[in-house]
Amino acid sequence: MVLYLVVPCYNEEEVLHETTKRLTEKLNTMIEKELVSKESRILYVDDGSRDKTWEIIEKLNAENPFVEGVKLAHNRGHQNALLAGLMTAKEYCDAAISLDADLQDDTDVIDKFVEEYNKGNDVVYGVRDSRKTDTFFKKFTAEGFYKVMKILGVDVVFNHADYRLMSKRALEALSEYKEVNLFLRGIVPLIGFKSSKVFYERHERFAGESKYPLKKMIAFATDGITSFSVKPLKLISNLGIIISFLSIIALIYALVSYLTGVAVPGWTAIIASIWLLGGIQLFCMGVVGTYVGKIYNEVKQRPRFLIETHLKK
């Protein structure tokens, strides 16, 4: 089976040589063990880097029999770079594994990914065993994120990032998802097909620094939620209903104050209308939001079905 290792790179000049060395060794041992074929490749995707990343990829491509490269015209972000790589690989491979250039994701488990693929799984998720190497802040925000996603009804694999194997047909299915706001770890579970998990330890970056500062992380998390859930819009409706209900209590209170003569003239009418109108407005916004949500889902033009098997004679 032809395996492609798809590696998005943004300003990764410090890690590319070491990464290539390690991945080449890995592929060589796997070829020896006849787990993968000689046509297997490492596919680097240069995500519009500003440093020497592309020059290094070109050089590696000339020297190393496994290395291929794709260069994006602009920096389009990790998810888009990954998609570009996977869509390129899908033409040549039987399966592709996506991994980061810094090799934080343990490459020893690549064999296990392939074993799971050989058992007939179309998608194999790499799941982090623990978060020992993370700071408290990163662990807290990351795990909190997965929990919020669950509450909002988005099906994501807990503690799985983008280290995963996808078979050719899973990649073909992925190509049917036309959305622009890409959040791959939300789309892949939607594809379905038989899947399994492989557990691994995540290491520290061996060189260079993270290309995912907090700002990008927040944008990514927001994208993940708003691309997969219209629940925040429903929350507005619910808030409207609750406030309308509270307004009745406020109204009674205002009337009582009026009748007992505590209220200043005019106060009752103002208070009553603020509450009632506020509630009604929020509720109406929620209703509009519900339709906007539907339009949003339609506009994405996601495939309505993907056939897994077709029995025929």
Shortest CB 127 distance to Mg ion, Å? 16
Among 61, 84, 87, CA closest to 71: 84
- What 3-state class would DSSP assign to 182? coil
- What Cα–Cα distance (Å) separates residue 257 from each residue in 243, 270, 274, 309? 20, 13, 16, 70
118 binds ligand UDP (CB under 6 A): no
The answer to whether the beta carbons of residues 24 and 60 sit under 8 Å apart is no
The answer to whether the beta carbons of residues 65 and 27 sit under 8 Å apart is no
- Looking at beta carbons only, is 71 or 169 nearer to ligand UDP? 71
- Which of the choices Mg ion, ligand UDP, none does residue 117 contact, using the CB cut-off of 5 to 8 A by kind? none
- Which of the choices Mg ion, ligand UDP, none does residue 41 contact, using the CB cut-off of 5 to 8 A by kind? none
- CA 66 – CA 38 distance, rounded (Å): 9
Span 79-108, contacts to ligand UDP by CB under 6 A: 81, 100-102, 104
- What 3-state class would DSSP assign to 269? helix
- Looking at beta carbons only, is 15 or 173 nearer to ligand UDP? 15
Q: Determine which residue in the list 5, 12, 57, 128 makes contact with ligand UDP, applying CB under 6 A.
A: 12
Shortest CB 211 distance to Mg ion, Å? 7
Dihedral pair phi/psi, residue 90, rounded to 5°: -60, -25
Contacts 24+ apart (CB under 8 A), 49-53: 49/9, 49/10, 49/11, 49/12, 49/13, 49/75, 50/11, 51/11, 51/13, 52/13, 53/9, 53/10, 53/11, 53/12, 53/13, 53/16
- Which of the choices ligand UDP, Mg ion, none does residue 212 contact, using the CB cut-off of 5 to 8 A by kind? ligand UDP
Q: Determine which residue in the list 61, 64, 75, 290 makes contact with ligand UDP, applying CB under 6 A.
A: 75
- What 3-state class would DSSP assign to 91? coil
9 binds ligand UDP (CB under 6 A): yes
159 binds ligand UDP (CB under 6 A): no
- Looking at beta carbons only, is 206 or 245 nearer to Mg ion? 206
- Looking at beta carbons only, is 104 or 237 nearer to ligand UDP? 104
- Total number of residues that touch ligand UDP (CB under 6 A): 16
- What Cα–Cα distance (Å) separates residue 190 from each residue in 123, 195, 303, 305? 11, 12, 10, 10
- Looking at beta carbons only, is 219 or 277 nearer to Mg ion? 219
- CA 290 – CA 120 distance, rounded (Å): 40
Interface residue list for Mg ion (CB under 5 A): 100, 102, 104
Shortest CB 201 distance to ligand UDP, Å? 14
- Which of the choices Mg ion, ligand UDP, none does residue 75 contact, using the CB cut-off of 5 to 8 A by kind? ligand UDP
Residues of the shown chain interacting with ligand UDP in the complex, contacts defined by CB under 6 A = 8-10, 12, 47, 75, 77-78, 81, 100-102, 104, 210-212
